[in-house]
Structure 1
Amino acid sequence: MSARRCVRVLITGRVQGVGFRAWMRDQAISRNLSGWVRNRPDGAVEAVFCGSPDVVEAMIETCNEGPRWANVAAVDVSEERQWLNGAFTILNQR
């Protein structure tokens, strides 16, 4: 069985209203990651993504850049114990 990693990321800065969630969904799908992304009421974007450790690490680095119109101030990462399977989705709830 191959190694797996699942993380929760909290991205702050100018990350809402700039297409961050759709961009992150596209990035995750292209990397075959499972999980979700959502806007938070405090202006941050929160996501959980799971996959092979090297791909998850690359996705974390990608989050530091964000889409063209974003201005990422910080990406806080914590390990998740629960493994998510299935498609990467955008959650509409805050």
Structure 2
Amino acid sequence: MDGWLKGLIATACVVVIAIGGYFAVSEYRKSTAEAARKERLDGARKELFDLANAQPNEEEKVREFCKNLKVRIATDLQNNEMAPVLMRNCRAFGYTF
């Protein structure tokens, strides 16, 4: 009876370690994905500020840039591939209504 009890305890330990490892890897993937998402958002926001020649506290310049971009998309930026992406970013960050 002693032998099978030791085997049961060993099996239970392996199961607990496996479940703990699974949850640890799952949490690591979540945090990595969230960090990558935040990095993409920060990059897109920085790109808008750079294109608007604005400092981090000059959101009004970015709003003006986005407003002008909206007008320019209908005219001289009509065939530009990046203009719709920039416009989407303007809307996503709330600089265009």
- Give the TM-score band, short-chain normalised: under 0.3
> TM-score, normalization: structure 1?
0.28
Structure number with greater Rg is 2
Greater helix proportion = 2
